[in-house]
Structure 1
């Protein structure tokens, strides 16, 4: 048995900035490496990544070690949710769930400095000047080569290399040599049949001999960690013992580079086996392999190196330890690798060699001669899913813990704006997805105006009762929204354009293009009207203004009569003044003020669904109110949502041809303010007409959400959104719903333009599952019960308690989860 103290394992003499000077006479430069998130790369991406690492490592100096150490810590989730009904429900449901957190360190070590330790001890501040000339030149060349690797790897997709600070390095090594206990305790480490460190036991596996390798090495292989689908996702050979191994473990890769020295060693082996090939068939076969390998190395300009791959599992739970040991063995066997399990002295030596700054002390028997391309095939490429700094909570795809994605992206890291489209089949979860986003937006202070033909959001309004305005508009009461009332910005060009748009809709005009004589005439008339400083501007007042100046208006504004037909204007526009069929559209009420005062405004237009012209008018006026009244205050963020948009866009006035779709497409183009967004929910792009309005909507969409659907719809999405990135396409087609699983959830593909895409899950706490009901028996029962409760929150909590006591499982498996 071998026992060492933390100090003995630590091995650091001191620091120069963020560079370690080790007691063993080496210079070490540790960097943090952020890797792409799981499932995000296709074969092409992985080949590019492989080649970039090869090119980067090829520039390193002789007497250089590289150590890639990826640490995975099993931990219990603790969320930072707001103290609200929804936040508390998420905290209760998810806190304590097991998951992995990770950190990857890429460490560069240069050794063989004869004057290093002596000069550092004598003068740590300016020791570099006192180094022997040869050592100084060697150190400068090493640091320059590290900088080259640093620059190259930072060019990779979704990859970031950053230098660690002294504090980070000290904390990291302290955690490593103390067994990742997560406290400040110092522990001895014993090496027997296993590693013993505090409450934890450990096992190590290593590939340390070229004979342990299979016949062929691969950069990537098909990802088998998800249920099969009509897509191909890829991973590295050993990815299953990375993010998918549910225990505390450390994956180590150690390279030693010696320039042309190892090529000469290969030449000697070829010659040696050639001299003895007549003695046996095995030697003859090995000689042929070596000759082929040598020729391949020359042809590919490959680089020889010595390499070790090892994994350490360290757990305080024997059951988890044994299960993960079996899983690691299975991964080795499945990929046709042999492995060695060190114990006692060998276990001690390999463990210490994995401590940052001690890598060059690894015993030579643990390193085997190979080429750089082959060694890189061992590397883990993926990282766990990591939270954005802010955003909306979904769930990650591995451990199903809450995962935050910044879909507003105020800092514009991924997208310049945030207009979105949600695509999902009937019953596929689109309303729940929209509710999840909208509910969290409300908690984050984003005002939301929803246009719907149903009651999908009615219950959400009940949960935000003091902040919600629900308008079930029937056309018989004053709408109360006055687009002619200006804000503090005054009559801007943008405001003139929207007023022209509204007036043309009132007139049922077919031609709304900006270069028509009618548009120019209306622009002049509206500017002239405001120049007269009306006391209370409105469409009826504008109408009477034109009526009063009927005889002189053309001459005063130099407008030809054929460019603006006053009689037509007065005749058709009369429908919107007192006595007209649509007089209530322009009549005053408190509604507009209430819209500004509430955070959630739901316009239910079911009752006027049979009047597409009126629907189009109201949607246009709503857009103006959101854009000019709500979003004009830059401190307020706002989102306009159209639910079941396929049904909405089909509404069309048979007389004028005016439809809702053209109006919404106009909004997508015009909402460019940093504090505004528009969202539509559809079943398929094929539901939208193939015209310029649809093309305009799609070209002005930055966020695409797709829920599990058919191959036909996936293909329609690819075509409509011109998706050419294979990794995005395969990721989208890989999503599935898991409603019958132990932890029921749906999956959502989210695409941020061309640069970034991810797949997330959505698992609901029982309270939120009930809160997001949009119809059906459960919804009807909750609504019926509201007569007995003062709030929907209290109603839902009692409902859950009753169902748990009765053990009625017909609602959802998630509601009966004893851990919830």
Structure 2
């Protein structure tokens, strides 16, 4: 028995695009298409009301289009891998972070929109009419210029309307569509199902289903009313991130968008036919069904449906359209088609739709999906509805986008964990989202707060920021050691020690003022008043002391030498000037400050033998855990901290500065330092700086007026970690921090749907109450070792340092041990 072998058709003969000119695709049916690339809102960032508003804009835009226009929205979701940047200038932790995410898989989303003006109505255009099936193609005469002008004007209005709603458009050029000598155009990319810039030419096989090169394709359509739910919504409740109190919304089509974890294209079609002609046709069908209603109850029911449709179209002025959506999925030949089928069917079922696989007609649907060929879509695959319902089928979300700003930090995408570049400071200031760079961080113990703040500080420092940290828990000891920073802490054998009298050059007015404040704090009780004559005497003493230092190089600046200067030279000066004891009691002053002089109880505190210029030190940590309740040491240390940062603010012009105060802010606020904190939070933005306060107790916020009136009001960036411990009291937190219902839902969704097997925590970030997202905080093992607050793990690291290893080597060694231990 012989077989008749038919010759294969060439793609050049069959492909439906006649010409690409001036950014327009012209098909062999004389259809004209304008193509755009769209930037949609990011997933998990919209509230139900925002979905409704976006949907209303889509419907309004559809109404602008002339008759016989086809809207084809094509969303590509292609498996990709994260490609990190390894630069020589990168630090140990930065390189380890990039290595940790090397080739992390994720779905790359690209959205295209094709607006097609057909040469005629296509209500009855079936599969046999398409350019794929017809043997002879006779191009129709091009439409008259007036119709095209009307169409292009409508397209401009369509684009402007959606752009005003926050969706950015980029019109595709001839090179984007057709390619160049070195790059592949979108037409070829689609026919190869490959979005790479250099996509290979492949064969198309329609004999058994659809094979595109080595890819095995399946198609599932939403083109039948029986397959759709009774009601279409703009958004649906996403159970995985919802709680009993807070529903979490995603778009209606999200299950077949980013939440469908395989290679796929989601095609959405909307056909603007002659509305009045459609209604007349339905009136005739309704009359026929009415006449036959006595013979069949089914006819009576269908007649009622037509009545309902026609009544809504007339009374509510709704636009009658045809719609269709389909999901084209594919895998390589060695893949598992059954797994792909199960995955896609499940996704469609989550939309309360019936999954219907296209087998015989997959070729026609694939062919109609060619950019610019939407006019060739077979009408039997569409259903009649209104524009409102048709737009519910549209995918309206995309991946988290990285900020184009050169400054920022790396956090993780919520679905795949892919790194995302996030700017919390500069870009939001420029766009007006925030008016200051200050941040407030709230996270209970164990929520991953230390890992987030360590990562934030580390990345800011690597980008040139001067960092000053005030801590009560050794959270930053590893990072400080790695950065060769200055670490101040109090231990019995190594007590905390400064030299506030050391300055480079002459002390400026602010330095002298801070030294006077320090001396007054040591001398007087909080409730004691300082007289004007006492203040003038201290000012004179400091002026003469620094004059002595400038003329006597052998005298070293310290509290000891200042004390000795007061005992001798300054005592003689007061006698000469006949300063009375009641104006300035020098003996009392010397007696009260005697404990801080050589041989006294606190002689170590202000006489450090290290001449550190703290203004030029870029990484400083003050660890106050052991002295936060000390009545003498704590006030002195906090004064020195504030003096150091205020000096940095004013002297380091054009240098970014950050002060991060952990739980120590509670003690600082109680020690008469409230005015410092108020001043700091209100003025730091003027000096290219930011203040960050970190706390873990809700009562600290609710019960402290400093936080409520100063810190929260002057922190436009609010950062919250897992709040499930405070679930019963979260309404108070929401009210105090001014969180919207959307932000509340986002906060309470933290860590509800973390990827199985991955070790990370999530964090909520709100910028000015206008933009808010939840990110993952995932770190490499090297970062984990550096940031951890677990005592045993910190001991293991510092034992290696004590044994002679430098900090980078100790971190690598400890991380490798953890890696080998699994």
Query: Could you tell me the TM-score, scaled by structure 2's length?
Result: 0.82
Pick aligned residue for 2:67 from 37, 62, 71:
62
Aligned residue number for residue 297 of structure 1: 313
Q: Does residue 430 of the first structure (1) align with residue 446 of the second (2)?
A: no
Aligned residue number for residue 763 of structure 1: 778
CA distance in 2, matches of 1:739, 1:242: 19
CA distance in 2, matches of 1:421, 1:263: 58
Aligned residue number for residue 131 of structure 2: none
CA distance in 2, matches of 1:300, 1:196: 46
How far has the Cα of 1:353 moved from its partner?
A: 1.3
In 2, are the aligned partners of 1:39 and 1:235 still within 8 Å (CA)?
yes
How far has the Cα of 1:23 moved from its partner?
A: 4.0
How far has the Cα of 1:775 moved from its partner?
A: 3.1
Q: Name the CA shift for 1:739/1:385 in 2 (closer, same or farther; >3 Å).
A: closer
CA distance in 2, matches of 1:87, 1:233: 34
Q: Name the CA shift for 1:101/1:570 in 2 (closer, same or farther; >3 Å).
A: farther
Pick aligned residue for 2:44 from 39, 43, 62:
39
Aligned residue number for residue 676 of structure 2: 663
Q: Name the CA shift for 1:295/1:783 in 2 (closer, same or farther; >3 Å).
A: same
CA distance in 2, matches of 1:184, 1:333: 33
In 2, are the aligned partners of 1:397 and 1:761 still within 8 Å (CA)?
yes
Deviations, residues 346-377 of structure 1 (Å, cap 9, x unaligned) = 32221121122111111222222111111111
Q: Name the CA shift for 1:188/1:740 in 2 (closer, same or farther; >3 Å).
A: closer
1:369-388 alignment runs, 5 A limit = 369-388=384-403
Pick aligned residue for 2:353 from 333, 337, 346:
337
Q: Does residue 719 of the first structure (1) align with residue 735 of the second (2)?
A: yes
How far has the Cα of 1:503 moved from its partner?
A: 7.7
Q: Does residue 218 of the first structure (1) align with residue 233 of the second (2)?
A: yes
Q: Name the CA shift for 1:574/1:388 in 2 (closer, same or farther; >3 Å).
A: farther
Aligned residue number for residue 5 of structure 1: 11
1:174-185 alignment runs, 5 A limit = 174-180=188-194, 182=196, 183-185=198-200
Aligned residue number for residue 810 of structure 1: none
CA distance in 1, matches of 2:410, 2:375: 44
1:496-515 alignment runs, 5 A limit = none
Aligned residue number for residue 601 of structure 1: 620
How far has the Cα of 1:748 moved from its partner?
A: 0.8
Deviates most, 418-427 or 388-397: 388-397
1:547-586 alignment runs, 5 A limit = 567=584, 579=597
CA distance in 2, matches of 1:487, 1:206: 78
Q: Does residue 149 of the first structure (1) align with residue 162 of the second (2)?
A: no
Aligned residue number for residue 481 of structure 1: 500
Pick aligned residue for 1:108 from 110, 115, 119:
115
Aligned residue number for residue 687 of structure 1: 700
Pick aligned residue for 1:412 from 398, 421, 430:
430
How far has the Cα of 1:342 moved from its partner?
A: 2.9
Aligned residue number for residue 144 of structure 2: 135
Deviations, residues 232-254 of structure 1 (Å, cap 9, x unaligned) = 11123331111011111111111
Q: Does residue 48 of the first structure (1) align with residue 53 of the second (2)?
A: yes
How far has the Cα of 1:686 moved from its partner?
A: 2.1
- Look up the SS of the partner of 1:699 in the other structure: coil
Deviations, residues 76-108 of structure 1 (Å, cap 9, x unaligned) = 222225543223322332212211111111221
CA distance in 2, matches of 1:348, 1:13: 23
CA distance in 1, matches of 2:533, 2:30: 81
Q: Does residue 77 of the first structure (1) align with residue 92 of the second (2)?
A: no
Pick aligned residue for 1:172 from 160, 181, 186:
186
- Look up the SS of the partner of 1:365 in the other structure: helix
Aligned residue number for residue 701 of structure 1: 715
How far has the Cα of 1:640 moved from its partner?
A: 1.0
CA distance in 2, matches of 1:267, 1:719: 55
Deviates most, 660-669 or 754-763: 660-669
Query: Could you tell me the TM-score, scaled by structure 1's length?
Result: 0.82
How far has the Cα of 1:696 moved from its partner?
A: 0.9
Q: Name the CA shift for 1:645/1:140 in 2 (closer, same or farther; >3 Å).
A: farther
Q: Name the CA shift for 1:32/1:774 in 2 (closer, same or farther; >3 Å).
A: same
Pick aligned residue for 2:341 from 314, 325, 330:
325
Q: Name the CA shift for 1:383/1:3 in 2 (closer, same or farther; >3 Å).
A: farther
Q: Name the CA shift for 1:583/1:528 in 2 (closer, same or farther; >3 Å).
A: closer
Q: Name the CA shift for 1:775/1:803 in 2 (closer, same or farther; >3 Å).
A: closer
Q: Name the CA shift for 1:722/1:583 in 2 (closer, same or farther; >3 Å).
A: farther
Q: Name the CA shift for 1:511/1:208 in 2 (closer, same or farther; >3 Å).
A: farther
In 1, are the aligned partners of 2:16 and 2:28 still within 8 Å (CA)?
no
Deviations, residues 777-799 of structure 1 (Å, cap 9, x unaligned) = 22222222323342233233333
Aligned residue number for residue 672 of structure 1: 685
Deviates most, 105-114 or 234-243: 105-114
Deviations, residues 46-98 of structure 1 (Å, cap 9, x unaligned) = 11111111111111111211111111110122222554322332233221221
Q: Name the CA shift for 1:291/1:180 in 2 (closer, same or farther; >3 Å).
A: same
Q: Does residue 784 of the first structure (1) align with residue 799 of the second (2)?
A: yes
CA distance in 2, matches of 1:50, 1:523: 70
In 1, are the aligned partners of 2:461 and 2:467 still within 8 Å (CA)?
yes
Aligned residue number for residue 750 of structure 1: 765
Aligned residue number for residue 248 of structure 1: 263
CA distance in 2, matches of 1:576, 1:135: 96
- Look up the SS of the partner of 2:115 in the other structure: strand
CA distance in 1, matches of 2:505, 2:398: 52
CA distance in 1, matches of 2:333, 2:439: 45
CA distance in 2, matches of 1:113, 1:15: 21
CA distance in 2, matches of 1:694, 1:508: 30
- Look up the SS of the partner of 1:393 in the other structure: strand
How far has the Cα of 1:224 moved from its partner?
A: 2.8
CA distance in 2, matches of 1:649, 1:708: 26
Unaligned runs of 5+ residues in structure 1 are 115-130, 556-560, 808-815
Deviations, residues 407-443 of structure 1 (Å, cap 9, x unaligned) = 2325633433321121111122111111121122222
- Look up the SS of the partner of 1:795 in the other structure: helix
Deviates most, 614-623 or 774-783: 614-623
Deviations, residues 379-429 of structure 1 (Å, cap 9, x unaligned) = 112211222234211211111122221123256334333211211111221
1:418-457 alignment runs, 5 A limit = 418-457=437-476
Q: Name the CA shift for 1:552/1:259 in 2 (closer, same or farther; >3 Å).
A: farther
Pick aligned residue for 2:273 from 236, 258, 261:
258
Aligned residue number for residue 813 of structure 1: none
How far has the Cα of 1:692 moved from its partner?
A: 4.7
Pick aligned residue for 1:162 from 164, 170, 177:
170
Q: Name the CA shift for 1:369/1:738 in 2 (closer, same or farther; >3 Å).
A: closer
In 2, are the aligned partners of 1:6 and 1:177 still within 8 Å (CA)?
no
Deviations, residues 621-675 of structure 1 (Å, cap 9, x unaligned) = 333433433664344222111122465346x34xxxx2x4543333112211363
Deviations, residues 144-195 of structure 1 (Å, cap 9, x unaligned) = 21222222212325x3233333333343333222111633311222223332
CA distance in 2, matches of 1:606, 1:7: 79
How far has the Cα of 1:506 moved from its partner?
A: 6.2
Aligned residue number for residue 129 of structure 2: none
How far has the Cα of 1:471 moved from its partner?
A: 1.8
CA distance in 2, matches of 1:339, 1:367: 15
Pick aligned residue for 1:268 from 243, 268, 284:
284
How far has the Cα of 1:548 moved from its partner?
A: 9.9
Aligned residue number for residue 295 of structure 2: 279
- Look up the SS of the partner of 2:357 in the other structure: coil
How far has the Cα of 1:456 moved from its partner?
A: 1.3
CA distance in 2, matches of 1:162, 1:518: 69
